[in-house]
Structure 1
């Protein structure tokens, strides 16, 4: 249900937030156009880049500093940054480092865009690797099998420990070794969150399905529902004792038993504020958790860390992370004799302002060469077409998509984080606002330009998927016809098949997984067979509606307990776009 609540609002909050952060942290520099925060890195050391959607502050920018991250790339609210943004960050830091490790939270859009950026970086001759972080236990193996564990507050421990290793040892050990350290840390982390309600996203109405007597366990960090609703809000003691610690520590729970903890192990406790809990209560939660750990599990944390580290805006909740330092240290010693204990790395000095245990020193602000951010889109000329008619079709399609945004957003608020409609509208506006500028005599070039504008404007998973598909469509046009040929139905059908095949290389989603693929695949298949757009549109519509009867296996909807009878918002968005085209044919 939608509720009006008071909240501070500013115009263009993401830009203002990043500029304000850079203004208050002289050790870093902001590339505003690309939303990149970065610092100076020594040439002989491995650089670390992380990032993701806005809304988790101080993660990610707050962990940029000597002894931690080298750069952070910021996407729109709860949406992954684009591949282009990430690649530009890689290019910036690679100029003063021996290699680049991308530390990526395990969410579909982040993995997609950071992975593609790494591929492109390697093609440019940059030594680049990816480490994916997942520490959540609320979503067990059965539910999260295809996508794995979500990344929660344990991510910041990966940032800190790997950052310290890279600072102290990467002059001796290379990128592969630094990546190995990240995996060792991640393999020994478990986290679970809980919250009294969802957060208030700037610029959007507050939406919740909870009444004032309910709360959720297994909260993520993107406003997605928890995995379990408690119909009576328990005391903090009971919440931790009965609903949180058992999911972290019960060895009999095979679905969630990711890390073993023995009584003699050195264990680090991290209590993280999701954004709306007072400092008074947060430190009280630390004490309650420590007491219950000793009482029920004979675990006395060797170190406790507390703070606002990985938030969900003003989310009225907290998460508990346990890190098995003993097992991590044992694994590290096998390959790195110099590392006595992972705790030494955890407590090494860092200048990252978001890390709560520090003494920050000042350093000169870094600089960069703006020319490395420039990207020239130059594809082969192929496929003449009626640009006036295509412009009319695209205008109709984007108008229909914008008109349908409230319905798409309503669906996504039930199964995701509520941003699908906004993201699709951003892509639609990017097309219409740039259509005159990018319209070319050749369809291959126009599609390549559209792909670039969509990627820049949308971000998130859908931005990456649509950008890849349209790039594949451009490639298909080039393969099917030359500079003097005119695109017809047969050529376009073959190009669609090539585009769909290209997309399938970068996503494991297939028909039946309750994603936009359930609408796209039947559209491509039917048009290829009949060359009839209306028939293909009807097949797409049928496929999109079928997602209401399917279990979501990808994206944030895959973490929600019950999505039946709710069609996939992304699939519906694609159908509305196609509906607009169909209405003008």
Structure 2
């Protein structure tokens, strides 16, 4: 029966079953939001997380008192949409005791983009909202995207959320962010597995032989950093491969987190989904012995079990958290003797047991299954534009012509862009951009008839782009436009009837670029759309609105992508074959600007 289910349908069935089997947990089916029923007695900071399904009990399993306020569930191994996340934020914000919302995000591109965009939109609606990104994998450390998030995410959830619920009335959202950053900085994880996982509704694929296993694999079926053959014993694997990488970065004598025998340490042994409890317990004992034998490290806290999985992956991960270093930063500033207090704080979250080991090495049916899952959407799905401050009048007789020309020119260039992307990407860049243009053209007459102010238009535009384009491109452009909106609201709110002009546009574009740079490390020279977008915006600002000069700068940037190797996106995976081919995304920017220039 399970074989015949569509993957997204299986996600809903799983969430329904989860709610049916746990008290005080509810489901908003339309947005796949799992949330807890609250009865707070003081102000607190709501903590929301989420991501792709397939990592259960992460994230829904950690929804409960003194832990996550809500979890937002995407498709299998895919980030939830910005709309889903924003609705979770608005749900939390409905509670009068909630003074702010913190989004805890795993360091994967889709998650960072969509949670980041949700945070930007929430702030534009007057909700105090921030993000903290978790990434603690020692096997991957890209200087462009950082480290991946693994089982340490569960620890981050517990510590951050316990602080936010118990100290949220005393301390600010920035303080909660700081706690998350401190935990992330002092945490390291590595995983190993005998094979890849089987995703429901998809064909099982693996390049591993029966005599091989992988070290340092991710939780989305990504390959590891090393294939081990023959398969070592558990002791050899932990001692020679896993602990070695935890205590030293590959090829160096440095570690991501320094740990010595005088410091208090937490050990988390996490089941990636396919191992027995019997095996996990054996791995705990083996790891404890090897830590003492080789590093004289005796963990104060030991947690073991299933926290973050990759479906049925036959593997496990080891996480070390330097308690002492965290406590050094937290004790004096926040009056917390130890993060172990936050870890031990009782919760009814289904996947967290507060009865963990502090180690001294030495010595209710009908109502649930047939109720209206979406009743709590009432009051969330409101007209966000009505809440926005009206800033910036637009001459639509001119603006509509410019935007129409830009979109039509880009659409005509689709075959060329698709051809380029078939060489360096997955061939969908042109179609994705056309989807965005079609959506803009479809809505232009409506926006003009409503005579939306610039701030209102930017808000609508951001949503239209994200919903029509999707993926990384949609996320990036939506974040950029949301950043432009934030700039308009900050810089021009006092002169709300001022008409949109070059100076106005330059200021908002610059702010949008600055915001975009918070969520991507791509810069000019990295062979992405930034190579055209950044020089256009900077030149447009420097020349006080000379569109021709700014377009020329964008065109030069696009031409330069033929000479550089892509560092981001799917083109970065094809190696040297990305050279001599203009970046499709950058070409898309130039074609859009070319169309605008025709009318300007």
Q: Shorter-chain TM-score: which interval?
A: 0.7 to 0.9
Q: CA–CA distance in 2 between the matches of 1:425 and 1:63?
A: 38
Q: Is 1:515 aligned with 2:528? A: yes
Judge which range, 453-462 or 396-405, deviates more.
Answer: 396-405
Q: Residue in 2 aligned with 1:168?
A: 166
Give the aligned partner of residue 178 of structure 1: 176
Q: 1:557 to 1:273 in 2, by over 3 A?
A: farther
TM-score if structure 2 supplies the norm length? 0.72
Q: How far apart in 1 are the matches of 2:194 and 2:579?
A: 27
TM-superposed deviation, 1:13: 3.9
> Structure 1 residues 213, 309: closer, same or farther in 2, change over 3 A?
same
- Say what the alpha-carbon RMSD is for the aligned residues: 5.1
| Equivalent residue runs for 1:543-562 within 5 Å | 546=563, 549-550=565-566, 552=567, 554=568
Classify the secondary structure of the residue corresponding to 1:373. coil
1:53, 1:78 within 8 Å by CA — same for their partners in 2? yes
Distance in 1 between residues matched to 2:582 and 2:220, nearest whole Å: 17
What's 1:503 paired with? 513
Counterparts of 2:329 and 2:239, CA distance in 1: 30
Residue matched to 2:64: 65
Cα distance between partner residues in 2 of 1:237 and 1:459:
45
SS of residue paired to 2:379: helix
Shift of 1:28: 2.4
How far 1:156 moved relative to its partner?
A: 0.7
Aligned to 1:3: none
- Structure 1's 278 and 265: CA in aligned 2 closer, same or farther, altered over 3 A? same
C-alpha displacement at 1:136, in angstroms? 1.8
Residues 27 and 366 in structure 1, CA contact (< 8 A), matched pair in contact too = no
Q: Secondary structure at 1:295's aligned position in 2?
A: helix
Which one of the candidate residues 21, 26, 42 is aligned to 2:18?
21
Q: Are 1:30 and 2:27 matched, yes or no?
A: yes
Do 2:484 and 2:508's aligned partners in 1 also have CA atoms closer than 8 Å? yes
Question: CA deviation digits over 1:287-337, x for unaligned, max 9?
Answer: 332232222122233333222222233444322101222333343322344
Q: Note if 1:238 corresponds to 2:256.
A: no
SS of match in other structure, 1:72: strand
Distance (Å, rounded) in 2 between the aligned partners of 1:109 and 1:154:
19
Establish whether residue 345 from structure 1 lines up as the match of residue 350 from structure 2.
Answer: no
Aligned to 1:325: 323
2:383 aligned with 1:375: yes
CA distance in 2: counterparts of 1:24 and 1:73, whole angstroms: 18
Match of 2:47 in 1: 48
- Report if aligned partners of 1:29, 1:366 keep a CA contact under 8 Å in 2: no
Matches within 5 A, 1:289-328: 289-328=287-326
User: Is this contact kept in 2: 1:462–1:570, CA < 8 A?
Assistant: no
The match for 2:156 is 158
Higher relative contact order by CA 8 Å / sep ≥ 6: 1 or 2?
Answer: 1
Could you tell me whether the CA contact under 8 Å between 1:401 and 1:577 is conserved in 2? Answer: no
Who is 1:418 aligned against?
none
Structure 1 segment 147-546 matched on structure 2, within 5 A: 147-202=145-200, 205-206=203-204, 208=206, 210=208, 213-230=211-228, 232-250=230-248, 257-337=255-335, 339-357=336-354, 368=376, 370-377=378-385, 381-384=394-397, 385=400, 436=442, 439-440=445-446, 442=448, 449=460, 451-456=462-467, 461-469=472-480, 502-503=512-513, 505-507=515-517, 508-518=521-531, 546=563
Unpaired runs of 5+ in structure 2?
A: 357-363
Q: Deviations over 1:357-390 (max 9, x none)?
A: 569x99x999846223323448855444469988
Corresponding residue number in structure 1 for 2:132: 131
Structure 1, unmatched stretches of 5+, are 1-5, 412-420, 486-490
Pairwise CA distance, 1:113: 3.9
Within 2, Cα distance between the matches of 1:122 and 1:31? 23
Q: Within 2, Cα distance between the matches of 1:105 and 1:568? A: 34
State the alpha-carbon separation in 1 of the partners of residues 305 and 199 from structure 2. Answer: 21
